[in-house]
Amino acid sequence: MAFELPPLPYARDALAPHISADTLGFHHGKHHRGYLTKLNALTEGPAYAGAPLEEVIVKAWADKDVAVFNNAAQAWNHAFYWRSMSPEGGGAPKGDFAKAVDRDFGSHDELKQKLVAAAAGQFGSGWAWLVLRNGKLEVRKTTNAETPLTETGVTPLLTLDVWEHAYYLDYQNRRADYIATFLDHLVNWEFANANLATA
Ligand code: MN3
């Protein structure tokens, strides 16, 4: 049973001008698809037969099966990243999620500053995350394909891809501008709220 590329949750041009149709075309259609193609070739044998993607990630991480881990985690991280953005994104958190943000960060602005610091401070390729850890919101960063899914007691709520392929066509080397645009115009707090509600 092969893993399939999930469709984008919006049209390819829906995030323009903040993220162009060109970027989404390459990022989803080439990079994300590429991870799944490699993952399917690597998991043809019985070791991972029938396992859902999350289980493949946890097992490959524990077994130090680096190639499977990298492609499985990147497949999962990208599907989560698409849903972390919305054409109606940006603005302020609402509802129970807003209360949790105030409780654990003091303010929405403080949360944004922590996400900026994590995303800008990730040296080289990786991801910035908002997670729930033991009932408390935390901001994290991970390197390359690494994902909070491998940590027990940690639930990812939102992510931001800071690999250069996520922004280079639109922002070249200006990662800070991409991060600011993500937080001002694209971030999908409703998705974080929904993940918090089911955590
Ligand atoms: Mn990417």
Distance 23 CA to ligand 1 centre (A): 10
Q: Which two tokens stand for residue 5?
A: 């590329």
CA 166 – ligand 1 centroid, Å = 5
**Average pLDDT, whole number, for the chain?**
96
DSSP 8-state code for residue 134: T
Å from CA of 165 to ligand 1 middle: 6
The C-alpha atoms of residue 131 and residue 149 are separated, in whole angstroms, by 10
Could you tell me the distance, in angstroms and rounded to a whole number, from the CA of residue 167 to the centre of ligand 1? 9
Q: Are 174 and 165 in contact (CB under 8 A)?
A: no
Q: Per this entry, what is the length of the chain?
A: 199
* Alpha helices for 84-149 (secondary structure H): 95-105, 108-121
Q: Is the pLDDT of residue 45 over 90?
A: no
pLDDT score, position 1: 61
Distances (CA, A) of 190 to 42, 85, 137, 173: 35, 10, 15, 29
Task: Give the Å distance between the CA of 62 and the centre of ligand 1.
Answer: 23
Q: What angle do CA 78, 81, 83 make, to 5 degrees?
A: 120
C-alpha gyration radius of the chain: 16
Q: Report whether pLDDT(115) > 90.
A: yes
Instruction: Report the predicted TM-score, pTM, of the whole model to 2 decimal places.
Output: 0.97
**pLDDT tens per residue, range 52-100:** 999 999 999 999 999 999 999 999 999 999 999 999 999 999 889 999 9
